[in-house]
Amino acid sequence: MAVQQSVGSDPYFPDNGDPRYRVHRYELTLDYRPGPNRLSGTARINAIVGRAPLAEFQLNLADFRIGRVRVDGRQPHYTHRGGKLRIRPAKSLRAGAAFTVEIHWSGNPKPVSSPWGGIGWEELTDGALVASQPVGAPSWYPCNDRPADKASYLISVTTPSAYSVVAGGRLLTRTTKASTTTWVYEQSAPTSSYLVGLSIGKYQTVLLGDPGLGGVPMHGHIPAHLLPQFSRDFARQPGMMDLFQRLFGPYPFDEYAVVVADEELDVPVEAQGLSLFGVNHVDGARGSERLVAHELAHQWFGNSVSIADWRHIWLNEGFAKYAEWLWSERSGGRSAQQLAAAAHRLLSSRPQDLKLADPGRKTMFDDRLYQRGGLAVHALRCALGDDAFFRMLRGWLGLHRGGAVTTAMFTAHAARFTPEPLDELFEAWLYRPALPPLPLTETRATA
């Protein structure tokens, strides 16, 4: 497993996260009542101080009422303003020391504001879901909200028994007492705070495919009235899982779940071991199948191998976009070359002022980043050839499993798989705004 890098504050979101320490584990105990949209929680956070002593530190948490804060069992001084919980322990924490923070909070969760509107906890007509990318996690729990700070999670959620709770990870227990049920999930793999997924709703659970010996357990959680459409729209997900494991390496988590919320969502949402779709993504005609592939691919690109900061988001979205093209090519649709040509035509007609390796906060979710990211991956595939390209990908994902990476780390890794220099290719596709010519080598996906 990769060792996490020590990196500074995220240049796109300098107010989120504290690089002076890292979290090892979160244990969240939540009670949620959908009617009044009332959340109360306790967090036990196990963390490790960095290279310098800590006289104070901060967590990100939205505007909740704080009931209690303890550091190693002792009451610290703290302030809670502007989404920041600043904590000054009774005694300074020495460099490299392990410490534990306990926080009790309660209130009515709501999305936090961002340049893209409200993100994070979203109250639905009948239930709730979490869509935290990139900085929405503090809308529902206290966290060191930076993608490079990855931790394991134990999440316990108590809610009225009419509702199901789905979280990323393995369901350990489900216990009903009177009118409430407590669901306990364990996510043992290192997880970025924005990738902690949660959905609360009235769902029917179905098995997707037959995991068999050594297979990946996959489940769908869907409103019962959508079962016929869902069964067709997600029928080929087991085939995607099989293909991506051959091309990218073993699926990096214990299980994979998809949730269809009984409400429209602008876009699907990836979380670790979990993807969330809206009713508008289920039509019974596989109209959103490319998105099914895209979200599954994020389990490798973005979730298992995460970015050190948001400047490198193309490493998530470019490869997930390219996975759409690989699935199309492998499943009888248009080839990656044909889809690359279509993307190139689209980008040719749009402004060419986006630098892929550092797009800026305002354009980090621009469709051009997705399309150009896919094209950059295709250009690299054409330069390396299929055999070296897929060996390179499997090596990259295996080497950095559970870790956080940068664009420079990726380009250095890719350069090891060809005797030809790749500097000009990466300079043109990643660092110059002008759109390079379309690579013309015809390729086919092979394991």
- What distance, in Å, lies between the first and last C-alpha atoms of the chain? 23
The kind and range of the H/E element at 32 are strand 21-33
Q: Could you give the number of structural domains in the chain? A: 3
The reported pLDDT for the residue numbered 213 is 64
Task: Supply the pLDDT for residue 6.
Answer: 42
User: Final residue of a domain: which of 172, 200, 228?
Assistant: 200
At which of 200, 226, 244 does a domain end?
A: 200
Q: Which residues are annotated as a binding site?
A: 294, 298, 317
Structure tokens at 356: 């892929």
Tell me which H or E stretch contains 318: helix 314-330
Could you tell me which residues are annotated as the binding site for Zn(2+)?
294, 298, 317
Give the residue carrying structure tokens 């490798």: 300
Which position among 289, 295, 324, 329 bears the catalytic label? Answer: 295
Q: Are residues 56 and 181 in the same domain?
A: yes
Cβ count near 232 (within 10 Å): 14
Token pair for 220? 């769908």
Q: Take residue 40 and report the two structure tokens written for it.
A: 């109360």
Residue 149's nearest CA partner among 117, 192, 110 is 192
Q: How far is 130 from 153, CA to CA, in rounded Å?
A: 16
- Examine residue 167 and state whether it is found in any structural domain, yes or no: yes
Q: What pLDDT does 447 receive?
A: 47
Same domain, 189 and 121: yes
* Catalytic residue list contains 295: yes
* Cα 327 to Cα 246: distance, rounded to the nearest angstrom: 12
**How many Cβ atoms sit within 10 Å of the Cβ of residue 99?**
17
**Which of 256, 271, 304 is a domain's end point?**
304
The answer to whether residues 136 and 220 belong to one domain is: no
**146 and 194, same structural domain?**
yes
C-alpha distances out from residue 272 to 193, 261, 320, 434, Å: 10, 17, 14, 34
φ, ψ for residue 337, nearest 5 deg:
-65, -40
Within a domain: 242: yes
Q: Give CA separation, 202 vs 35, 163, 319, in Å.
A: 14, 5, 33
Task: Tell whether 440 is covered by a domain.
Answer: no
- What CATH number has the domain bearing residue 261? 3.30.2010.30
Residue 128, classified by CB atoms within 10 Å of its CB into exposed (0-12), middle (13-18) or buried (19+), is buried
Kindly state whether residue 136 falls inside one of the protein's structural domains: yes
Q: CA of 141: how far to CAs of 121, 122, 168, 201, 430, in Å?
A: 10, 13, 15, 19, 35
Looking at the structure, tell me whether residues 109 and 167 fall in a common domain.
yes
Residue among 193, 79, 182 nearest 139 (CA) = 193
Phi and psi angles of residue 206, each rounded to the nearest 5 degrees, phi first: -130, 150
**Same domain, residue pair 39 and 53:** yes
The DSSP code for 429 is I
Asked if the structure places residue 438 within a domain, the reply is: no
Residues 121 and 236 in one domain: no
How is residue 316 written in tokens?
């998530």
Name the one residue in this structure whose structure tokens are 């019962």.
Answer: 224
Q: Tell whether 436 is covered by a domain.
A: no
CATH number at residue 385: 1.10.390.10
Identify whether residues 356 and 296 lie together within a single domain.
no
Whether 119 maps to a domain, the answer reads yes
- 179 and 46 within one domain: yes
Instruction: Examine the domain organization and report whether 352 and 229 are in the same domain.
Output: no
143, amino acid identity: C
Within a domain: 437 = no
Distance (Å, whole) CA 309 – CA 135: 12
Residue with tokens 């994979």: 256
CA 422, CA 381: separation in Å to the nearest integer?
A: 12
Query: Are 175 and 29 members of one domain?
Result: yes
Structural domain range at position 139: 1-200
Structure token digits, residue 3: 């060792």
Same domain, 285 and 423: no
**β-bridge partners, 269:** 276
Could you list the pLDDT tens digit for every one of the 447 residues in the chain?
443 444 568 999 999 999 999 999 999 999 999 999 999 999 999 999 999 999 999 999 999 999 999 999 999 999 999 999 999 999 999 999 999 999 999 999 999 999 999 999 999 999 999 999 999 999 999 999 999 999 999 999 999 999 999 999 999 999 999 999 999 999 999 999 999 999 999 999 999 987 776 789 999 999 999 999 999 999 999 999 999 999 999 999 999 999 999 999 999 999 999 999 999 999 999 999 999 999 999 999 999 999 999 999 999 999 999 999 999 999 999 999 999 999 999 999 999 999 999 999 999 999 999 999 999 999 999 999 999 999 999 999 999 999 999 999 999 999 999 999 999 999 999 999 999 999 887 544 444
